[in-house]
Amino acid sequence: WFGFHQSDFLCLNVWLCLLSFLGPKMINLYGTVYNPPTHLFTTALQDVPQNFGTNGQLPDPFYLAASLSQNSAQSDSLDTDSTAASLSNINQSNLLNNHSKVGSKGNSALQLSNVFSIPTSAGDFSVTESAIVHRSNEITPPMCSGDGPSLGSGGSAGSSGTTGGGSSGGAPCGSGGSTGGNGLGQHQPIQHTVQFEPPPRPGRGTEGRPIALRANHFEIRMPKGFLHHYDVAISPDKCPRRVNREIIETMVNSMHYQKYFYNQKPVFDGRRNMYTRQPLPISNEKVELEVTLPGEGKDRVFKVAIKHVSEVSLFSLEEALEGRTQRIPNDAVVSLDVIMRHLPSMSYTPVGRSFFQNPDGYENPLGGGREVWFGFHQSVRPSQWRMMLNIDVSATAFYKAQSVIDFMCEVLEIPDKNEQRRPLADSQRVKFTKEIKGLKVEITHCGSMRRKYRVCNVTRRPAQMQSFPLQLETGATVECTVAKYFQERYKISLNYPHLPCLQVGQEQKHTYLPLEVCNMVAGQRCIKKLTDMQTSTMIKATARSAPDREKEINNLVKRANFNADPHLQMFGINVNPRMAEIQGRVIPAPKIQYGGRTKAQASPQQGVWDMRGKQFFSGIEVKVWAIACFAPKRIVREDSLQQFIVQLQKISNDAGMPIVGQPCFCKYATGQDQVEPMFRFLKNKYAGLQLIVVVLPGKTPVYGKRYLPIQNLR
């Protein structure tokens, strides 16, 4: 890509499309290296014994080695979602952050840190002055508990899978943590019989200068002995995890069931799995209890069946951590993760492996009725000699809690709702329907009873014309408009009768609500794709410097106050509030070799190098090339295009990759539908074509057409 400025008002995005025979010779004329955001930081180098990390080559089940840099970054981590790393100054020691999960399909929780493996007291990092490389065999259990959706859910006799692991949320091994269906619409408890055996560590490495680092991992001091695992079956079984947790919490605190839970504080994963420190006084057969929750209009009654599954031994986990065995007991790791997540799951809004809180007191709007919520990521991980709690900051998009009228105005970019005095155009209605369909709204016209509904559609007709069959007291059925019904039934004269209605519930039941009597339910995560502008706003709102990130993580741990959690106290678990301290090594930076007469060498500084006055080590002469301009002539005049050709040839010649002669083809084109036909024409017309320069007026739909035509040309 080239950026070309003809004048103050002219800025062109130029697309260089190299054909297959150029292969890897795609270049950056300015000689800079992309240095992505990272969460691995270093400043002061501290003296560490020179024989550090050299004692022995024994197989180590908790291999952790990394290479850090003061300049640029790359990553070859064996973990699931690794990103490159760069360096930034902090105080007299250094911070290593963990767990970046940036996006999934649609808009997953934007977690701003990097899955950077497990710190160890005897761990070993390698730090280069120019490039960061980290390698890790992260000891992540095959199944982890969390709040993602479960896989293999039941509901039909054809469903399969009895151990669906759950997916969303960015956990390396799936964050669902609940089981799938058994093919009969029934959930099965997690049977953690699988043991994970990590590969042996090949060595620790010895090159470079030692350096001290800090990681956003916090040591967990575990209890000894056994935990007790119970299967919990709640009927009706179609409740969300939030309701399931409320049911179990009500049951545990009920005076009727103190004989079962006296002096016990069970933890629950929201689906089927409950853990206690001491065994419950129930027989080997399951016990059935009844729990009542207050509902809207009437109470809801649930049946809870509890059955003992197994004892979870913490001795085997201790043996693995101490290196006496290479097999890591998955059931022990999962049970500890459920314990650590129990209270946050009750106090915050869980999304995957992260927890978010309503932004009370601050606003970070994204536009389109969406806003940024900040939270924290949490997971339990085995490391060498100890269990660690990984904490990091995260952010994701939620829908704003506001009136549906205001939501509609934000989506349709209407500055003032009072200016919308006409019915919505079809294009506006389609756009609004696409955004609100599937979301929950609550009514405001029934006093304190704020009943919630899920939107299934938006009506084509406005409220003053939308009718439905109304059954009278006499038994007769008449057609009545929504506006008239609200006037007669609730004495509400609609302020916006010209706007459409929301169709809620089941589509065949014809339940309509005027927009002005509905509010958006708070705490609804946005799973739809963000626009380019929203993505840009999200990145700006979540950007953190290294010191700020360290401070924020420490504040998260301080506010969480894990050691005051009554559930952790019951299980005998203690969390060290200080970040783990680890050691690394600074490896000498590689050199950059230039071409030309001087054959000069350069050392990258801060991940970049200056190509001005220097040439590529091995360039190529471009003789047959073409220009396709998709910008209109009123924006890019012919004389501007000629000046661009001259500048392009000068820059390429100075860099040692001369573009000679005039282009064999230089024409204007319109519309994205002409991209592929033009490329095919150029391929067939001009033999030996080496380079196509595409000029765009901006980031238009044509911008996204850059890959397919090139691939088809090969």
What tens digit of pLDDT does each residue of 310-336 get?
999 999 999 988 888 888 899 999 999
Confidence of residue 93 (pLDDT cuts 50, 70, 90): very low
Confidence of residue 562 (pLDDT cuts 50, 70, 90): very high
Specify whether the CB–CB gap between 121 and 583 falls below 8 A: no
Residue type, 697: P
Specify whether the CB–CB gap between 570 and 261 falls below 8 A: no
Which element (helix H / strand E) includes 647?
Answer: helix 638-654
Per-residue pLDDT of 59-90, as tens digits, reads: 333 333 333 333 333 333 333 333 333 333 33
- Residues 6+ away with beta carbon under 8 Å from 86: 35, 36, 37, 38, 40, 69, 71, 72, 73, 132, 607
Answer whether residue 25 shows pLDDT above 50.
no
Which element (helix H / strand E) includes 520?
Answer: strand 518-520
Answer whether residue 270 shows pLDDT above 90.
yes
**Of 172 and 493, more confident:** 493
CATH class, 404-520 region: mainly beta
Answer whether residue 97 shows pLDDT above 80.
no
Q: What is the pLDDT of residue 701?
A: 52
Confidence of residue 250 (pLDDT cuts 50, 70, 90): very high
* Pairing mode, strands 386-399 and 110-114: antiparallel
Q: What is the pLDDT of residue 55?
A: 39
Mean pLDDT over 266-285 rounds to 93
Q: What is the pLDDT of residue 527?
A: 93
Region of poorest pLDDT, from 253-262, 308-317, 581-590: 581-590
Token code pair at residue 28 = 């950056």
Confidence of residue 237 (pLDDT cuts 50, 70, 90): confident
Side-chain half-sphere exposure of 362, counting CA atoms within 13 A:
7
Region of poorest pLDDT, from 463-467, 540-544, 581-585, 708-712: 708-712
Q: Report the alpha-carbon distance of residue 404 to residue 432 in Å, rounded.
A: 11
Angle at 394 between CA 391 and CA 400, to 5 degrees: 140
**Over pLDDT 90: what percentage of the chain?**
46
Specify whether the CB–CB gap between 308 and 282 falls below 8 A: yes
* Pairing mode, strands 452-462 and 2-7: unpaired
Q: What is the pLDDT of residue 298?
A: 81
Give the domain ranges of the chain. 2-31+610-713, 143-193, 220-385, 404-520
Q: What is the pLDDT of residue 678?
A: 85
Confidence of residue 405 (pLDDT cuts 50, 70, 90): very high
Packing angle, helices 241-253 and 330-347, rounded to 10: 90
Mean pLDDT over 430-440 rounds to 96
Answer whether residue 187 shows pLDDT above 80.
no
Query: Alpha-carbon dihedral of residues 354, 357, 363, 368, nearest 10 degrees?
Result: 60
Q: Which residue has the tokens 């400043």?
A: 43
CATH topology of domain 2-31+610-713: Rossmann fold (3.40.50)
pTM beyond 0.95: the answer is no
Q: What is the pLDDT of residue 6?
A: 36
Answer whether residue 148 shows pLDDT above 80.
no
Q: What is the pLDDT of residue 703?
A: 54
Q: Which residue has the tokens 């930081």?
A: 41
Answer whether residue 222 shows pLDDT above 70.
yes
Region of poorest pLDDT, from 106-110, 149-153, 379-383, 676-680: 149-153
Token code pair at residue 285 = 């057969």
- 10 Å CB burial of residue 633 (0-12, 13-18, 19+) is exposed
Q: What separation in angstroms does the CA of 114 have from each of 29, 69, 140, 174, 342? A: 30, 16, 15, 16, 24
* Pairing mode, strands 217-221 and 574-575: antiparallel
Mean pLDDT over 579-588 rounds to 88
| Helical spans, DSSP H, in 190-328 | 241-253, 258-261, 315-321
Answer whether residue 466 shows pLDDT above 80.
yes
**Of 149 and 257, more confident:** 257
Mean pLDDT of the chain: 75
- Residues 6+ away with beta carbon under 8 Å from 162: 152, 179, 180, 181, 182, 183, 188
Mean pLDDT over 440-444 rounds to 96
Token code pair at residue 643 = 């000046």
